[in-house]
Amino acid sequence: MNVGIIGSGGREHAICYTLNKSKKVTEIFCFPGNAGTSFIATNVSLDPDNFSELEKYCLEKNIKMLVVGPEKPLVNGIVNHFKGKSIRIFGPDKISSKLEGSKIFTKKICQKKNIPTSNFKICESLNESLDYLKNSYFPIVIKADGLASGKGVYICKNFNEAKMASEEIFNGKFGVANQILIEEFLDGEEMSYFVVTDGKNYKFFGSAQDHKRVGEGDTGKNTGGMGCYSPSRLLNDHLEQKIKTKIIEPTLNAINDHGGNYKGFLYVGLMIKNGEPFLIEFNVRMGDPECQTILPTLNTDLIDILISCCDGTLNQLKINFSNSKSVCVVLCSKGYPEKFKKNIEIKNLEQLKPLKNQNIFHAGTLKIKTKIFSNGGRVLNFVSISDNFLRSRNETINLIKKLDWKNGYYRGDIGHKVIKI
């Protein structure tokens, strides 16, 4: 089977790498891919938001399965475009994708279905938000309603910070804003929980803990993710049952009530407080870098999972993971998440020799002839799996240190809550 993958990040390289191991996959095409995917797939410089051109190319190359990595095409309705056509597409439809496309849509579902989440206020103007904030307790959380590449969330310690956040959102930092979401700050420990669903059934697809802050000790600005470990230290059978019955099942039921058809990965971002799960957010795709952390532990053929979801037969498939401890450290361009330089050569990347238990997944990279250059804020993902988290992290960092690229930086404390030295 020929497979197409939409996206250009570390998540998409990890998906590409995992599918490439399957004997059932003949050829892989990436739209547009990155330097890493170019070694195992055909990169296609085609705008994936042009659904008609994408469909035409898929028909020409006999692509029978499309996997949508990032959120934007999903929110824009790519799955609806391919509905009823000869090409399977893995991902939720436009209605279902509103779970990520609109934080306010999700909060209203939580309210209706009694899903545990933080208390919140929807404000439709800057003045309304400032009036509300004057009588609020701090810290408080302010969120842009729509897509913001993981950067539209502000944790504000006082009124002045909250005022600045509100102004930035209403002034269009993340696009036109008619509403913002103000939330109670939940104090606890975060966890990422994943399922895969065919619209009727769902199955567990890993857990992890991401590290969003740019600095060690979870300090500094929010990023798209500086690293991750899996599985989460917080997950146990009792907590998992609560996540399923209190959050996942009522959400999927609500999507069905809205006329949606959710087929794909569902990322459940949680705050665990006193053993209770509270929903922070949904993503309608695998997380990044969680995907790069979890997929190396998957024992089941990924293409079988994708097909079963598209065909509505997930209940017939058993999904197995190894018991390994996985750690991913993201190597970023200096300056990220603020201004950073692009197009800086990474000199000896191809000479690195990862061990059998290691992977290097490209994110913001570009290949020009035989050379590889940085092309984004998050550039490379280094992943190791072993029987314990400390060994996995040490082996990951040792591999990074062999790289000849002085423009990069990384957090050396990924997994600090689970690794006690």
Contact call for residues 187 and 259 (beta carbons, < 8 A)? no
Query: What pLDDT, on a 0 to 100 scale, did the predictor assign at position 151?
Result: 75
Residues 170 and 217 in one domain: no
- Domain-terminating residue out of 132, 155, 184: 184
pLDDT(91) > 80: yes
Phi, psi of 330 (to 5 degrees): -95, 130
Residues 251 and 132 in one domain: no
Residues 158 and 193 in one domain: no
Query: What pLDDT, on a 0 to 100 scale, did the predictor assign at position 158?
Result: 97
Exposure letters 35-65 (e unless 16+ CB within 10 A, then b):
bbbbeebebeebebeebeebbebbeeeebeb
Instruction: Examine residue 110 and state whether it is found in any structural domain, yes or no.
Output: no
Q: What is the residue range of 153's domain?
A: 119-184
Q: Provide the percentage of residues in the chain whose pLDDT is more than 90.
A: 95
Instruction: Examine residue 421 and state whether it is found in any structural domain, yes or no.
Output: no
- Pick from 53-57, 78-82, 146-150: least confident: 146-150
Q: What 3 state SS string does 377-390 have?
A: CEEEEEEEEECCHH
Q: For 241-258, what is each residue's pLDDT tens digit?
A: 999 999 999 999 999 999
Instruction: Examine residue 246 and state whether it is found in any structural domain, yes or no.
Output: yes
d(CA 341, CA 358): 28
Residues 193 and 153 in one domain: no
Q: Give the Å distances, CA to CA, from 372 to 30, 114, 335.
A: 18, 50, 20
Residues 307 and 335 in one domain: no
Q: What is the dihedral of CA 300, 301, 302, 304, to 10 degrees?
A: -110
- Pick from 78-82, 132-136, 173-177, 215-219: least confident: 173-177
pLDDT(199) > 90: yes
Listed in sequence order, the residues at least 6 apart from 143 whose beta carbon sits closer than 8 Å to its beta carbon are 103, 152, 153, 154, 180, 181, 182, 183
Reported as a pLDDT band with limits 50, 70 and 90, residue 21 is very high
d(CA 5, CA 19): 10
- Pick from 198-202, 335-339, 405-409, 417-421: least confident: 417-421
How many CB atoms within 10 Å of residue 103? 27
Handedness of CA 31, 35, 40, 42 (dihedral sign): positive
Q: What is the mean pLDDT of the chain?
A: 96
Query: What pLDDT, on a 0 to 100 scale, did the predictor assign at position 152?
Result: 86
Query: What pLDDT, on a 0 to 100 scale, did the predictor assign at position 125?
Result: 96
Residues 87 and 128 in one domain: no
User: The domain spanning residue 196 has which CATH number?
Assistant: 3.30.470.20
DSSP codes joined into one string, 241-307: HHHIIIIIHHHHHHHHHTT----EEEEEEEEEETTEEEEEEEESS--TTHHHHHGGGB-S-HHHHHH
Query: What pLDDT, on a 0 to 100 scale, did the predictor assign at position 221?
Result: 86
Instruction: Examine residue 297 and state whether it is found in any structural domain, yes or no.
Output: yes
Structure tokens at 315: 């209940």
* Section 341-357 average pLDDT: 93
Residues 333 and 312 in one domain: no
Instruction: Examine residue 420 and state whether it is found in any structural domain, yes or no.
Output: no
- Domain-terminating residue out of 289, 316, 343: 316
- Domain-terminating residue out of 265, 281, 316: 316
Instruction: Examine residue 415 and state whether it is found in any structural domain, yes or no.
Output: no
Cα 217 from chain centroid (whole Å): 22
Query: What pLDDT, on a 0 to 100 scale, did the predictor assign at position 119?
Result: 96
pLDDT(421) > 70: no
Listed in sequence order, the residues at least 6 apart from 191 whose beta carbon sits closer than 8 Å to its beta carbon are 207, 208, 209, 232, 234, 235, 270, 271, 272, 277
Reported as a pLDDT band with limits 50, 70 and 90, residue 123 is very high
User: How many folded domains does the chain comprise?
Assistant: 4
User: The domain spanning residue 175 has which CATH number?
Assistant: 3.30.1490.20
Residues 282 and 341 in one domain: no
DSSP codes joined into one string, 54-108: HHHHHHHTTEEEEEE-SHHHHHTTHHHHHTTSSSEEES--TTTTHHHH-HHHHHH
Strands 378-386 and 358-362 turn out to be antiparallel
User: The domain spanning residue 11 has which CATH number?
Assistant: 3.40.50.20
Residues 137 and 152 in one domain: yes
d(CA 227, CA 241): 27
Structure tokens at 288: 């990044």
Give SS3 for 13: helix
Listed in sequence order, the residues at least 6 apart from 9 whose beta carbon sits closer than 8 Å to its beta carbon are 34, 69, 70, 288, 363, 364, 378
Handedness of CA 278, 282, 286, 292 (dihedral sign): negative
Residues 284 and 365 in one domain: no
Query: What pLDDT, on a 0 to 100 scale, did the predictor assign at position 65?
Result: 98
Residues 194 and 155 in one domain: no
* Section 264-282 average pLDDT: 97
Instruction: Examine residue 414 and state whether it is found in any structural domain, yes or no.
Output: no
Reported as a pLDDT band with limits 50, 70 and 90, residue 371 is very high
Contact call for residues 40 and 16 (beta carbons, < 8 A)? yes
Residues 179 and 198 in one domain: no
Instruction: Examine residue 285 and state whether it is found in any structural domain, yes or no.
Output: yes
**Helices 249-257/103-113 angle, 10° precision:** 110
Contact call for residues 192 and 225 (beta carbons, < 8 A)? no
d(CA 107, CA 94): 17
